[in-house]
């Protein structure tokens, strides 16, 4: 149980700081002349859309995990941790690609403000966070309150993190190589998933 919660928190924290979740919003906001308050409101809307689609998929996976744990004897102890490890290996292998949300600023030229915001919200809704979904699957096999806890933690951490980073970046308080950070996020994600899977083998 604790490994699921800890892994979910780590993935959620990492997910919150991945720049391709909020950096395009910041870039578009500056291009369109939005002030900090407007940029934050759009970030909140886009973040909520992203979280909602991720949680919907996560709950469905949690239901599947619950059914599997009932009908497959070794699911919780062997299959679920194996899924975490396989997903971790996948993200490490794919770390050099840019998965997740991308919206190029060239695509929003000559569009109205409402259409720009709608495009951002829809794009975020259609790009759910795949990294956290394995934890929903595993949490569903444990209990409803763990599943709800993962959903709540992921939602709060992701949205709060996006808003915090928007503020930091908007104010120019921190200069980082965002491309390098995003590039290495897949490796970090993969290692967290693999570690959680290995731990789950021994404490399930």
Query: What 8-state DSSP symbol labels residue 21?
Result: G
**Is 181 a residue whose pLDDT tops 60?**
no
Residue 185 has pLDDT above 70, yes or no: no
CB 27 within 8 A of CB 169: no
Number of structural domains the chain divides into: 1
pLDDT score of 51:
94
Spatial contact of 146 and 1, defined as CB atoms under 8 Å apart: yes
Domain that holds residue 174: 2-203
User: Over the stretch 32-81, which tens digit does the pLDDT of each residue have?
Assistant: 889 999 999 999 999 999 999 999 999 999 998 888 877 676 666 677 67
- Pair 1, 147: CB distance under 8 Å: no
Which residues, 6+ apart, have CB-to-CB distance to 93 below 8 Å? 190
Greatest mean pLDDT among 19-33, 91-105, 117-131, 176-190:
117-131
DSSP character string of 61-87: HHHHHHHHHHH-TTIIIIIHHHHHHHH
Phi, psi of 46 (to 5 degrees): -65, -40
pTM (predicted TM-score): 0.76
pLDDT tens profile 105-159: 455 555 788 898 998 899 889 888 887 888 898 888 888 899 999 999 999 999 9
CB 178 within 8 A of CB 83: no
State residue 193's pLDDT score. 74
CA distance 173 to 85: 37
Higher pLDDT, 199 or 48: 48
The pLDDT value given to residue 192: 75
pLDDT for 70? 72
Q: Supply the DSSP symbol for 76.
A: I
């Amino acid at each position: 149980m604790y490994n699921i919660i800890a892994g979910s928190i780590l993935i959620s924290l990492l997910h919150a700081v991945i720049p391709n979740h909020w950096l395009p919003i910041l870039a578009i906001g500056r291009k369109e002349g939005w002030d900090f308050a407007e940029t934050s409101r759009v970030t909140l809307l886009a973040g909520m859309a992203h979280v909602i689609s991720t949680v919907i998929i996560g709950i469905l996976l949690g239901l599947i995990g619950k059914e599997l744990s009932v009908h497959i004897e070794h699911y919780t102890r062997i299959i679920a941790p194996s899924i975490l490890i396989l997903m971790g290996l996948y993200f490490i292998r794919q770390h050099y690609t840019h998965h997740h949300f991308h919206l190029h600023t060239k695509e929003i030229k000559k569009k109205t403000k409402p259409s720009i915001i709608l495009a951002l919200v829809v794009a975020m809704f259609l790009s759910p966070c795949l990294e956290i979904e394995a934890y929903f699957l595993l949490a569903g096999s444990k209990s409803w309150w763990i599943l709800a806890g993962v959903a709540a933690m992921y939602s709060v951490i992701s949205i709060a993190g996006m808003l915090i980073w928007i503020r930091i970046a908007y104010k120019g308080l921190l200069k980082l190589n965002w491309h390098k950070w995003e590039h290495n996020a897949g490796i970090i994600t993969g290692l967290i998933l693999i570690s959680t899977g290995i731990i789950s083998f021994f404490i399930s």
